[in-house]
Structure 1
């Protein structure tokens, strides 16, 4: 006796599809559980590196282990080659190099050689990628069935994107990092208020806040830890706060820096000023969240029409369609 076939929809076995979807959902659940239970601390390595750098600056030593020294030497040699090539072509300017270094610091990349790599990428990528696309289109007949205007658009787009690729990469990292710092700033100010009222010094307060918020907001903890280190060995404390404002391109950070500088200069109460700033930043964050919530219905319209409603119709009308199809086949 033959086994009865299951219901079908458009010639596809419904039970088979349901089994496959259940397997995919189970795998996604296992991946989510693994990702939730294996969270790493991204702050510990950064704070360790900053503390090592502080000790090196205090002791006046720059030596390290042989492996790290060899790696650093190799990196410096590569950067020196790129710098020599750019200088020979007269395309490396001091102002351009300084701007690239500032952008990289705002992206969390503090290597001075990376600025040379960015400028070198602006020059080399259009030649390699853009020139390769132009050669493939006009030299080897790639996209021959396209019109001349479309091929020119592809070639021009490849040249422009390859030139802007390093800047787009850095700007994307700056945007993500600034957003993460903006989210954690109110909590950091609250902790600074508590530390100031407890009698801690400014550099000790910054170090304590960096330690407490390192896991929740690693980017903000990184900046506060570096500021605490600079406050410890720089002769002018104002320079440390100005460096913080330069590394983080946010109006809220500039407001905090201005408050700290005025407090250092005029001796005004630090806790009350930081408490006002914290309340203001929290209200700003709440208003930003309310603005996103107000835009949510309009944003959800397209996914609702394209993805949710079709699935809903399949779930509601699918069993009826399967039954009607089976009855018509049996009657025929």
Structure 2
């Protein structure tokens, strides 16, 4: 085997390792460029779905084609079978269904049929995952060396996590969607103020804001577009604002809907009320940013000690160590 020509560290050619790392970095840069240039518009699918919903409301039908109608019928039959099973077991309650439907709407899932699927998942997943774990722990010798308390904790944890898995999934989606809506709400209120002062109606203003902010904040644009459609079709305009508050898990949206309802009922100036709310939400967003910035030094302490300082020591002391190693090897 030929000895390396360049400097070495612990018998490893430093130039070869640097070349490999440079190649990996170049591949990562090319992949990042490809990912950035191939991003799809997140609003295309949402706008298409909202337009389909608009056409359905206009025509008074539940589907536009026979293929989609057959698919909806199949979904309804599956949901009805699940509902029948849960009703026979006496575990299906109206309050649970309504709570599950609200969580689905807050997570951005429009189909209410999935509510019974969520409840069915709470019933089935402990059996699917907890049953095999119970058999592995107490029916086989896979965990024979574990203590009784440790084995019981594994089985109990599997049952609990399986039962909570649907709720945890929905909670995660709700948190992400709420954070995205909260981030774009001050800008949306500013645009609503501009639209109101320009003389647009409320439903036209919501539609305009959804169109302008749909690319930057697709979740907020989705909610505002649906609200604009409901304002144009529902007989009671207050119900459209209440539906907006029902579909989002944010106190800020509830404050906006309350303001809109009071404006519709008492005829108070809309622009001034929205301007106050926008300033309040913008100050709140700035306070959250300052809070995160204040926590940053404490959060960066552990990565600094574990990752940054060792790399810094290698960069500073590495050439000296290579030179010393080569000198010792040449002296021998």
TM range (shorter): over 0.9
User: Within 2, Cα distance between the matches of 1:151 and 1:27?
Assistant: 45
1:3 offset after TM fit, Å?
6.9
Matched, 1:6 2:10: no
Inter-CA distance 156–35: structure 2 relative to 1 (3 Å threshold): same
Residues 56 and 64, structure 2, Cα contact 8 Å, conserved in 1: no
Q: In the TM superposition, what whole-angstrom CA distance separates every residue of 1:162-189 from its partner, at most 9, and x where no partner exists?
A: 1100000000000000000000001100
Inter-CA distance 305–4: structure 2 relative to 1 (3 Å threshold): closer
Matched, 1:318 2:318: yes
2:141 is aligned to: 141
Instruction: Return 5+ residue gaps in structure 2 as ranges.
Output: none
User: Within 1, Cα distance between the matches of 2:230 and 2:126?
Assistant: 39
User: Within 1, Cα distance between the matches of 2:3 and 2:305?
Assistant: 39
Inter-CA distance 85–183: structure 2 relative to 1 (3 Å threshold): same
Inter-CA distance 143–14: structure 2 relative to 1 (3 Å threshold): farther
1:55 offset after TM fit, Å?
2.1
2:170 is aligned to: 170
1:1-332 equivalence runs, <5 A: 5-332=5-332
Task: Choose 184-193 or 3-12, whichever is displaced more.
Answer: 3-12
User: Within 2, Cα distance between the matches of 1:89 and 1:19?
Assistant: 65
Inter-CA distance 267–69: structure 2 relative to 1 (3 Å threshold): same
Task: Choose 146-155 or 254-263, whichever is displaced more.
Answer: 146-155
User: Within 2, Cα distance between the matches of 1:326 and 1:77?
Assistant: 77
Instruction: Return 5+ residue gaps in structure 1 as ranges.
Output: none
1:17 offset after TM fit, Å?
1.8
| Matched residue SS, 1:207 | helix
User: Within 1, Cα distance between the matches of 2:179 and 2:60?
Assistant: 36
Inter-CA distance 328–3: structure 2 relative to 1 (3 Å threshold): closer
Would you identify which runs of 4 or more consecutive aligned residues in structure 1 move more than 4 Å? none
1:4 offset after TM fit, Å?
5.1
Q: In the TM superposition, what whole-angstrom CA distance separates every residue of 1:67-125 from its partner, at most 9, and x where no partner exists?
A: 32232222222222211111111111111000000011000011111111110000000
User: Within 1, Cα distance between the matches of 2:146 and 2:7?
Assistant: 46
Task: Choose 199-208 or 77-86, whichever is displaced more.
Answer: 77-86
Count, aligned residues: 331
Q: What TM-score, normalized by structure 2, do the two folds share?
A: 0.96
User: Within 1, Cα distance between the matches of 2:12 and 2:281?
Assistant: 55
User: Within 2, Cα distance between the matches of 1:81 and 1:17?
Assistant: 61
